[in-house]
Structure 1
């Protein structure tokens, strides 16, 4: 059995690569998908496809529609969502993706530092599991594949 795991969260740090490498080292049968990690491409995809927009607002709207389509398709195909909230970046997209996972009844592992417990308490309560680190999330993911005879 292979699971498709949607990795929701900021695209500025290497947390996705860390999860992918550690999952591979553990030989977990998972395929990872997620948002476009190339920030420039994500910001400009609307104009690449639809042509030059009249201003920055229309440019953002065009890109958002295409990025939201990508997220919808990949998240609907996912078996599980892992959403990371870090302390450094604004987390609007992470909150939206985690909420979408809840609305789609997708199993959700929420990663957030203890410092963000209070602002994320309601979302954390809706998640299946809330952890503080990538390593803890991987342990949860590994447990899905653990056999009883261990």
Structure 2
């Protein structure tokens, strides 16, 4: 059995690459999908498809349409969502993805450092599993696949 895993969360470090590499090394039958990881392309996709926008607000709005489309499609195809909250960046997209996972009934693994326990307590109560590292999330999936 293969699982499709949507990797929600910040795109400013290599956590997705580490997870993919470790899963591959362990031979876990996981297919990883997620948001556009090329930040510049993600920000520009609205203008790439629709053409130049009149200002930054419209540019962001146009990009959001296509990024939301991508997110919705891949999350609906996913068997499970891993949502990573880090400490360094505001995590609005991660919060929206986690809420969408909950709303759609998708199993959610919430990854958050202990320091974010309080601000994420309600979200944590709706997740199936809460861990502190992406590696622990991968261990949870390895257990499911046993």
TM-score range, shorter chain: over 0.9
- In 1: Cα distance, 2:38 partner to 2:135 partner: 25
Query: What residue in structure 1 maps to residue 69 of structure 2?
Result: 69
Aligned partners of 2:12, 2:92: CA distance in 1, in Å?
14
Q: Following superposition, which runs of at least 4 residues in structure 1 exceed 6 angstroms of deviation?
A: none
CA deviation after TM superposition for structure 1 residue 25, in Å: 1.3
How many pairs align? 146
Cα shift at 1:135:
1.7
- How far did 1:31 drift? 0.3
Map 1:36-51 → 2, pairs under 5 A: 36-51=36-51
Alpha-carbon offset, residue 90 of structure 1 = 1.0
| In 1, Cα distance between equivalents of 2:44 and 2:137 | 32
* TM-score, scaled to structure 1: 0.96
**CA distance in 1: counterparts of 2:10 and 2:136, whole angstroms:** 19
SS of the residue corresponding to residue 96 of structure 1 reads helix
Structure 2: gaps (5+ residues):
none
Structure 1 position 59, deviation (Å): 0.5
**Secondary structure of the structure 1 residue equivalent to 2:110:** strand
The unaligned stretches of length 5 or more in structure 1 are none
Q: TM-score, normalised by structure 2?
A: 0.99
**For the residues of structure 2 that align with 1:144 and 1:24, how far apart are their CA atoms?**
16
